[in-house]
Amino acid sequence: MTHSKTKTLVVDATDQAAGNGLMSRRFFINSALATGATLASGAPAIAQDAIVGEGQEDWTLYPGDDLPLYGDVSQFEKGRVQRFVAPPTGGRTASSSGRTPHHLLQGTITPSGLHFEVTHHGIPDIDPAKHKVVIHGMVKQPLKWDIEALENYPTVTRKYFMECSGNSRVCWAEKPDQNFMYMTHGLVSGSEWTGIPLSTLLDEVGVSPDAKWIIAEGGDSGSLSRSIPIDKALDDTIIAIYQNGERIRPSQGYPMRLLNPGFEGNTSVKWLRSLYVTDKPVMSRFETSKYTDKLYDGKALQFSLEMDVKSMITRPSSAISLKKKGLYEITGLAWSGRGKIAKVEVSADGGKTWAEAAIEGPVYDKMLTRFRIPWMWDGSPAILQSRATDEAGRLQPTREELLAARGKDAFYHYHAIHSWSVNAKGAIRHVYA
Ligand SMILES: Nc1nc2c(c(=O)[nH]1)N[C@H]1C(S)=C(S)[C@@H](COP(=O)(O)O)O[C@H]1N2
Ligand SMILES: [Mo]
């Protein structure tokens, strides 16, 4: 590729999709990269510098390392790209969480080692030879399976997001938090899960026609339990045994977990040991004192299980400041617990004008969807926002709208539009706009 005929990047009105520098989602392909453009100042629009010479580093001169039996990330990434783990304050009886650093990741599949994790009683070290899941209660024939037995069933492999309903809950606070973005939005991840449809196993045990709920219980010391509506269990719930092609990791529920696509993460019971078929919910701690939505009238809404339509800009974002004027790609993730993402719009002027971002397909049901849009930053202050619409036409609300709907004591299920302000120096902060 030669760079001899660099053109000055001419931006005409047809390239502009919305105010404050948002470009058409096809702009990169049509003009910026195709012409190797420079800005009017003479600097390259994106590239760092012109080539001045290449060094001869050791790795070009000597043979490399032996092959590892299980691959690892580069030593230069270690300690940089990692989960944020908030230490539990009450020992292993307290909840603790590890958060995904989305601002450092791309694509839609979260690497298994960076999948967020929430555990209320620590991570059990389960020997799969000693672990079984039982289905009992209102069934003709109670049965149990270990992982070897489960592997004999036909499996399904599907991509799903998982989100803790406590994700983004700092955004309910009166002042916008200034944590790194994974502190704010890091309790959501996407994976390819392989498992057995729960409906297959329910067929085998013969569920009573009067059954309405299934109580799922974990094999960890706190026996976390949640009530799952039978309709969901017969629809797309799976018992997952693989994640991203390998056996689920201990953090994610090794050797087997329940996976309720699109539902709040807490219902996807890890280290699954029991499914009790019944006609009423169990009213466990996690569906009464926790994971309920406190409304204006002081009452608490229970079983708001489907996660709402939501999106976040991962880049640029706090911790990634802009170093110079020029062309950037705004990118992020969108998802909905009620289906596929239909559209993501981005604003650079705090919501006055919106442009449709490009969505990278294929778009999957109840899975993270990546969006991108080019943005020409001219050095003036900006407020970057994204808003998603799902296939059922649900539009992500503004913060004002969400507060009005959910009340002042809300704690879970925050999903309003997030705002990043960019100042004239290129520094990025979380703001309420
Ligand atoms: N047995 C058990 N299952 C559990 C939990 C737990 O502490 N114990 N945490 C729940 C919560 S609150 C969430 S959000 C999800 C998180 O799943 P992940 O850690 O694989 O991301 O698992 C759920 N399943
Ligand atoms: Mo959670």
Determine whether the shortest distance from the Cβ of 220 to ligand 1 is under 6 A.
yes
Cβ(395)–Cβ(428) below 8 Å? no
Exposure pattern of 341-353 as b/e (b: 16+ CB <10 Å)? bbbbbbbbbbeeb
Q: Which residues contact 66 (CB under 8 A, 6 or more apart)?
A: none
What is the model's pLDDT at position 136? 98
Tens-place pLDDT, residues 42-66: 666 676 666 666 678 899 899 999 9
What is the model's pLDDT at position 10? 61
Residue 157 lies in a domain: yes
Q: Apex CA 354: angle with CA 348 and CA 358, to 5°?
A: 95
> Comparing 79-83, 89-93, 181-185, which segment has the lowest mean pLDDT?
89-93
Determine the Cα–Cα distance for residues 192 and 201; give it in Å rounded to an integer.
21
Which atom of ligand 1 is least distant from the CA of 165? 14
Q: Apex CA 84: angle with CA 369 and CA 315, to 5°?
A: 40
Count of domains observed in the chain:
2
Tens-place pLDDT, residues 233-283: 999 999 999 999 999 999 999 999 999 999 999 999 999 999 999 998 877
What is the model's pLDDT at position 1? 38
Determine whether the shortest distance from the Cβ of 396 to ligand 1 is under 6 A.
no
Q: What is the mean pLDDT of the chain?
A: 90
Determine the Cα–Cα distance for residues 351 and 353; give it in Å rounded to an integer.
6
Residue of the CA atom closest to atom 11 of ligand 1: 266
Residue 32 lies in a domain: no
Residue 226 lies in a domain: yes
193 torsion bin: left (phi>0), alpha (psi -120 to 50), beta (else): beta
Cβ(325)–Cβ(305) below 8 Å? no
- Report the percentage of the chain scoring pLDDT > 90: 73
> Comparing 253-267, 284-298, 334-348, which segment has the lowest mean pLDDT?
284-298
pLDDT at 193 over 90: yes
Any idea what the CATH number is for the domain that residue 279 is in? Answer: 3.90.420.10
276 shares a domain with 144: yes
Determine the Cα–Cα distance for residues 88 and 95; give it in Å rounded to an integer.
6
Structure confidence at residue 15 as a pLDDT band (50, 70, 90): confident
Element (H, E) at 60: helix 58-61
pTM: 0.92
316 shares a domain with 281: no
Determine the Cα–Cα distance for residues 404 and 401; give it in Å rounded to an integer.
5
276 shares a domain with 162: yes
142 shares a domain with 254: yes
Cβ(347)–Cβ(385) below 8 Å? yes
The 8 Å CB, 24+ separation contacts for 251-257 are: 251/98, 251/115, 251/117, 251/119, 251/123, 252/112, 252/115, 252/117, 253/218, 254/126, 254/128, 255/126, 255/128, 255/131, 255/147, 256/131, 256/133, 256/147, 256/150, 256/195
Determine whether the shortest distance from the Cβ of 273 to ligand 1 is under 6 A.
no
By residue range, what is the domain housing residue 399? Answer: 310-431
Output the CA 64–ligand 1 centroid distance in Å: 40
Question: At residue 18, what is the residue type?
Answer: A
280 shares a domain with 339: no
Which atom of ligand 1 is least distant from the CA of 253? 20
Any idea what the CATH number is for the domain that residue 405 is in? Answer: 2.60.40.650
Residue 401 lies in a domain: yes
Tens-place pLDDT, residues 60-71: 899 999 999 999
pLDDT at 89 over 80: no
209 shares a domain with 341: no
Cβ(273)–Cβ(217) below 8 Å? yes
Q: How far does Cα 206 stand from its chain's mean position?
A: 35
> What sections of 290-382 are H helices per DSSP?
none
User: Which ligand has an atom closest to residue 120 CA?
Assistant: 1
> What secondary structure, in 3-state letters, does 379-431 show?
CCCEEEEEEEEECCCCECCCHHHHHHHHCCCCCCCCCCCCEEEECCCCCEEEE
Residue 56 lies in a domain: no
> What sections of 99-215 are H helices per DSSP?
147-150, 181-185, 198-205
DSSP code string of 218-258? ESSTT--EEEEEHHHHHTT-EEEEEETTEEPPGGGTTT-EE
What is the model's pLDDT at position 40? 56
Of 292, 319, 348, which closes a domain?
292
CA 64, 66, 71, 73 torsion: positive or negative?
A: negative
Element (H, E) at 58: helix 58-61
